[in-house]
A and B are shown apart, each in its own frame.
Chain A
Amino acid sequence: MEQSGKVLMINYEKCTGCRLCELVCSVKHDGISNPMRSRIKVMKWEAEGLYVPMSCQQCQDAPCMKGCPVKAISRNPELNRVEIDYDVCIGCRTCVSVCPFGAMSFNTIDRKVIKCDLCDGDPQCVRFCEVKAVEYVDAGDVSIKKKKAAAHRLSVASKEGAVLYAAQA
């Protein structure tokens, strides 16, 4: 059977909003602390306590790859990632404009586009996130984990329903 490859799985409900992932991403890649250099970014709605880490989905049919006019973006099947060849990239930022997730960023200091490279198979955001809001799992397992969580919610709801029904009867 063919390996499906690993992907970042984000469970935003667990995110505490601390942005350590942004710090370690930026320092790991550039030796510099600057959230603008981070490939992962926590989007926040502080007034409601909602924090959602956003990063590249490594799409199968990636718009950035399709849209790149010089074919600088390609899929690396070994690491299951979409990657940029900076020797070819002309910095036109078409990829930034077509990405539906805003996951392709433009670094205004080095004047180049940046995206998650999964740290070549050892994502540091995952290594540092103690609450496991970001995990690195087999692509096929993401839905299994979600199914299980949903099933648990359903079973709890049906139990509560049964209790309610019994109480009424």
Chain B
Amino acid sequence: MALDRKIAFIDLTNGEIQIKPIPISMRKKYLGGRGLDAYLLYNYSKKGVDPLSPDNPLIVSGGILTATCASATARTHVMAKSPLTGLLGSTNMGGFFAPELAWAGFHHLVIKGKAEKPVYLYIHNGNIEIRDAGKLWGKTTTETQWAIREELGDDEIKSLVIGPAGENLVRFANVMTGIKNSGGRTGMGCVMGSKNLKAIAARGTMDIRIAHAQEAFEYNKRFIDQITSAKVNQTQGALGTPFIWGATNCWGGLRTRNFQFNQLEYADDIEPERLDEIATETVGPHHMTGCFACQVHCRGQYRIPSGPYAGKYDEGPEYTSQGAFGAEPGCTSAVTVLTGNHLVNQFGMDNLETGSMIAWAMELYEAGILTEKETDGLDLRFGNDEALLEMVERICYRKGWLGDTLADGGIPAAEKIGKNAFDYLIQVKGMNNLHSDERATPALALNVATSSRGSDHLRSRPAIDLYHLPEDVLRRIYSNPIPYKGPLSSEHTSYEGKPWMVYWQENCYMAVDCLGICKYHTTFLGATLPNFEDWPKVIYYNTGLEFTSEEIWTIAERCNMIERMFNLREGLARNDLKKGDTLNHRYFDEPCRRGAPDVIGLSIDRGKFNKMLDEFYEYKGLDKNGKPKPATLKRLGLENEPSRSL
């Protein structure tokens, strides 16, 4: 049964390991995955804990449906206090690690302490072993994975690892599995590095009995048909996430040259179709690959066609790499995008944060705030591909003054650089935004401002807001399972009804993260994909647990609230520019210069933004300062937290 997977508490300081069952009562309150991780983080970390200290718990998990007969249950979630933001650290990745962890007997790992020397964990059919990683230290992410397989003589092992960036405590180092599946955001690789933990290797052959196998089997087929019949997923299956670029660059939704423009010109070379051509030429006509049991297969494969890394094999690039090594630094070469993507994958470093930090430094350089003295002679102008790739390496290995400074993350770097460097930094809660420009889309602006892990699109983005769906279609989607009677607008530049959409998406994404399935299998990029209506059946058939759609909604609300409670405990305040639910001044003060006619000239209206935020807080049951009302905590059963009941 999925429900008999265990939780392990591992102390790397003294090597103690405690293995416990996960009570059904906890499943009913938090399901699993990210939701239960949030409970664990809030309960098993002390207020004000130093993110790089042994006391910061690193929590690794699969969802309640991981490796069951549901579609695309591949997601691994990792949580800790973030060394990048000082608030919630949370990251989610595809691949094959979480299913292997579940077959090895575990759903959640809570790792505390710090090993004296580099170690890795080997988890095999209910057992956990702490092993020496001396020989692995210094290796890249893929070298590490293959070396573990060789050492243990088992090619089926799946590992979650850090690369050199995690070892060097780059504050936005990621955790990785496979070639490019990355838990990129909030620096979870940095936390692993601080614990001297190089990798977690899993291998399992333990049964996960499906509660109602025949029903789960047939329902899964129906579910997969629904998912693969969506045009958006068919496009993703052909071009990967780069397909988004075609649309966003047209209408002016791309953050370009840090935040100066909202469209990248002369970018034919990094259009999705061009990247697809390169993949076809270098890998072959069937160059898409997928995560565990997923029929969307949105992950590209390629070899770098030319340049110093010519011939290197890698996966991707994702839409985010087009931004990080294209739009943001103002570079327009496919080879640069593919090389940058390869470097961050090998180093184990978040592509979004890396590209964004370098683009920020480029604007500072052009504005004269940084000079050749700080860059050690590097001509860090926009559009300088060589300087961009050189900086990626300097950040990973903390080379030179600027490399070392940028490796500490946006806010500390801004403080070190001084002057008004901070004003140029496109961040929320200390984490930089991806390369999307939300000045013309109030719903998306509210999403990045309120996302629990800092500026981010995967926590509550109502992406379908851009499709101009008829109002009755929107109402049908956003009234499930809780009827919504307020205003709604099909217009993406409108402020009407957007807070409810963001609030709904926040609960939707939390639910999928608890289940352990991918966001491409719910209402994210496709409006016809499964959500609250369908999940009770999937959960029941696979685990035997019964929920109503409304109950899943409430669980998602509860898990989001406990994330909020963690953030409030660690200093979140509504209008704090560094730790709040607000945006960089440029969103309000600098209008879009390019794009579609209805986008040019737009910026976010401060008054209307604040009204949206008030409304969003009200839906969440927060007061005007963004703190939960006592009645809300009571309704969600959180009035006695921390309860430490695991």
Contact = CB atoms under 8 A, between A and B. Distances in A.
Contact of A31 (B206, B209, B294): B209
Interface string A44-65: 1011110100000000000000
A128 B208 contact: no
Contacts of B287: 49
A34 B301 contact: no
Given A24-B69, A49-B313, A16 B288 contact: yes
A36 B287 CA distance: 27
A131 B294 contact: no
Contact of B103 (A14, A15, A34, A47): A34
Given A18-B293, A18-B297, A33-B69, A46 B178 contact: yes
Contact of A23 (B178, B205, B284, B293): B293
A169 interface: no
B312 to A, nearest CB: 11
A20 B295 contact: yes
B286 A18 contact: no
A130 interface: yes
A17 B103 contact: no
A127 interface: yes
Q: Secondary structure of the B side of the interface?
A: loop
A34 B207 contact: yes
Nearest to A13: B286
A131 B284 CA distance: 15
Among the interface residues A18, A108, A109, which one has the most CB atoms of the partner chain B within 10 A?
Answer: A18
A131 B285 CA distance: 12
Contacts of A51: 289
B148 to A, nearest CB: 13
A13 B178 CA distance: 19
Interface residues of B, number: 41
A108 B295 CA distance: 29
Given A31-B213, A128-B224, A47 B208 contact: no
A27 B301 CA distance: 30
A131 B425 CA distance: 44
A47 B146 contact: yes
Interface in A19-42: 19-20, 23-24, 27-28, 31-37
Contacts of A18: 289-295, 297
Contact of A46 (B179, B209, B292): B179
Interface in B88-133: 96, 103
A47 B205 contact: no
A37 B207 CA distance: 9
Contact of A24 (B146, B217, B228, B297): B217
Contacts of A13: 284-286
Interface string B255-290: 000000000000000000000000000011111111
A33 B313 contact: no
Contacts of B224: 128, 130
Nearest to A133: B286
Interface in B60-111: 67-69, 96, 103
A131 B208 contact: no
Contact of A130 (B96, B220, B295): B295
A128 B227 CA distance: 13
A27 B69 contact: yes
Contact of B208 (A19, A28, A34, A46): A34
A109 B207 contact: yes
Given A27-B216, A28-B217, A47-B146, A34 B228 contact: no
5 contacts: A13-B286, A27-B213, A32-B210, A47-B146, A131-B297
Interface of A: 13-20, 23-24, 27-28, 31-37, 44, 46-49, 51, 108-109, 127-128, 130-131
Q: Which 6 A-B pairs have the closest CB atoms?
A: A31-B213, A18-B290, A36-B205, A16-B297, A33-B208, A16-B290
Given A19-B292, A24-B217, A33-B103, 14 more contacts: A16-B286, A16-B289, A18-B292, A18-B294, A28-B217, A33-B208, A35-B205, A47-B142, A47-B146, A49-B287, A49-B313, A128-B224, A130-B295, A131-B297
